[in-house]
Amino acid sequence: MKKKSLAVLLAGTMSAALFAGCGGSGASTSSSAGNSKSEAASESTGTTTTASKDAIRLVNGKIEIDEQLKAAAKKYQEETGQEVSIESLGGGVDISGQLKSYYAAGNMPDMFVIGGDGDYANWTGKCADLSDCAFVKDTDFGYTDDETGKVVGFPYAVEGYGITYNADILEKAGIDPTTLVNYDAYKAAFEKIDGMKEELGLSAVCSVAAESGQMYWSTGNHLFGYYLSGGLERDDNTYFDMALEGKVDTDRMSQYADFIGLLYQYSDQQTLISGTYDDQLALWAQGKAAFITEGNWIDPSLPDYNVSFNCGIAPLAFTKEDMTSVLADSPSWWCVYGESDKVDACKAFLDYLATTEEGQTCLVKDAGMISPYKSSTVEPESPLAVSLKTYVNEGKTSSWAWANMPEGIAQNAIGLVYESYAKGDIDKDQFVTMMQSSIADYVANK
């Protein structure tokens, strides 16, 4: 089971209409309310989704686009009469575990999110074939079951990340963000900004959160993703394949550990050690830090903080040699539960989102994402989606290999190593050793 490569899409077409915007990844639970006739409740989260018995129920994994999806669902109901109930889970919520609980309770949603091969392995044979949907012919990002060749996952976005920066602060500090392409450039930039914190009104140079209980997805997935594929061609799985064998490249991991240590050194220590996603975002969005280790999924949250400064995305370039690409891919997919009695209704809703201007406006302009659909003419307007799109258009992207790591490795293994390093409980050499042993042990026991 695997997702399609972005390289296929880039090689196929590079017209102005090829991409439009997308984003998200969050930290709480939200469910839709509607004209209630029935309720589905989750004991583990306390979430209650109220909707009619004829409603399509979608479990979405991006809390940042909850409001936008609900607006699209309302519009869709007005146009078609079909109600769509959105249940959004994100951040510290164990989405895979929640879905398993739903399944065990006979309470499966009609549509649900998967993040890659590890997640899909739980649902092999339980997802409806979407190959006959109109959206399939309009994208190269559909999630395909390798064994059957059937498209089983709906791609709603292309997302990307590296280090997001406040361009106004960098300009005041005399730092050109296009030069941030290697370890030495970042070290010099961090040192310079640190010496100007009072003048720039900063609390810290960086906003990073490494508490493993809530932020494992940021450290153990996103940051770790740069070790796996940062700077590589999209089809280069060298370090990913090693990790699946329980091995790491010690030289690369050592360079990576140096960079993570640099981030930690120049971070707000309270946010680093005990901060939540909201704490991390607030510090940066309020202009109190120059950098944040999040991607274009924070776009929809920026208006909440009345962000007016210019911003962009730079590569998380941890190597001594230049790294000019960012990590960009389909962040996750929506699958249709094969035993749902609303499979056809789900397919119609997915095609609406993918192939109509109203649907693409929701995903691109409202949710601040980049569209995976070739026919979309809706262009992103949110700042980080616009920044990301320049990398995509120029072919300067590496894959999200991390999404295909064994399920739970970030939460149950390597996220803890990042936290220990942040607290100073281990040094750089121990970080390298513990990453090696944690990966080896987890892979061996899966």
Please write the tens of the pLDDT for every residue from 251-308: 999 999 999 999 999 999 999 999 999 999 999 999 999 999 999 999 989 999 999 9
Helices 415-423 & 250-265, crossing angle to 10 degrees? 50
Among candidates 308, 33, 71, which has minimal Cα distance to 169? 308
* Dist CA 309 CA 303 (whole Å): 11
Residue 326 has pLDDT above 70, yes or no: yes
Residue 7 has pLDDT above 60, yes or no: no
* Dist CA 278 CA 193 (whole Å): 24
Higher pLDDT residue, 102 or 25?
A: 102
**Which amino acid, one-letter code, is at 211?**
E
**Could you tell me the pLDDT band of residue 116, with boundaries at 50, 70 and 90?**
confident
Query: Structure tokens of 69?
Result: 């999806």
Q: Are 281 and 298 in contact (CB under 8 A)?
A: yes
Cβ-count burial 357-392 (b if 16+ within 10 Å, e if not): eebbbbbbbbbbbbbbbbbbebbbebbbbbbbbebb
If residue 29 lies in a helix (H) or strand (E), which one and from where to where?
strand 29-31
Please write the tens of the pLDDT for every residue from 387-396: 998 998 888 9
Predicted local distance difference test score (pLDDT) of residue 3: 43
Q: Mean per-residue pLDDT for 100-109?
A: 97
What string of DSSP letters covers 115-131? -SHHHHTTTTTSB---T
Per cent of the chain over pLDDT 90 is 78
Please write the tens of the pLDDT for every residue from 13-71: 222 222 222 333 333 344 332 222 223 333 333 344 567 889 999 999 988 899 999 99
Predicted local distance difference test score (pLDDT) of residue 300: 87
**Could you tell me the pLDDT band of residue 209, with boundaries at 50, 70 and 90?**
very high
* Dist CA 86 CA 59 (whole Å): 6
Q: How confident is the prediction for the chain on average, in pLDDT? A: 89
Proportion of the chain in helix, strand, coil states, percent, rounded to 5 = 45, 15, 40
* Dist CA 175 CA 428 (whole Å): 28
Predicted local distance difference test score (pLDDT) of residue 40: 35
Domains delineated in the chain? 21-158+331-379 (3.40.190.10), 161-328+408-444 (3.40.190.10)
**Could you tell me the pLDDT band of residue 344, with boundaries at 50, 70 and 90?**
very high
Residue 82 has pLDDT above 70, yes or no: yes
Q: Mean per-residue pLDDT for 202-220?
A: 97
Predicted local distance difference test score (pLDDT) of residue 342: 98
Q: Are 89 and 32 in contact (CB under 8 A)?
A: no
Higher pLDDT residue, 381 or 259?
A: 259
Q: Mean per-residue pLDDT for 422-440?
A: 98
Check residue 218 and report its DSSP letter: I
With a CB cutoff of 8 Å and minimum separation 6, the contacts of 191 are none
**Could you tell me the pLDDT band of residue 368, with boundaries at 50, 70 and 90?**
confident
Q: Mean per-residue pLDDT for 174-190?
A: 98
Predicted local distance difference test score (pLDDT) of residue 45: 37
With a CB cutoff of 8 Å and minimum separation 6, the contacts of 342 are 56, 110
* Dist CA 376 CA 20 (whole Å): 6
Please write the tens of the pLDDT for every residue from 241-252: 999 999 999 999
Predicted local distance difference test score (pLDDT) of residue 35: 29
Predicted local distance difference test score (pLDDT) of residue 239: 98
**CA distance to 8, 35, 158, 413, 424, per residue, from 351 (Å):** 22, 24, 17, 38, 50
- Say how many C-beta atoms besides its own lie within 10 A of residue 11's C-beta: 11
Higher pLDDT residue, 41 or 141?
A: 141
Predicted local distance difference test score (pLDDT) of residue 91: 64
Residue 144 has pLDDT above 80, yes or no: yes
* Dist CA 369 CA 363 (whole Å): 6
Residue 424's Cβ-count burial label (10 Å; 0-12, 13-18, 19+) is exposed
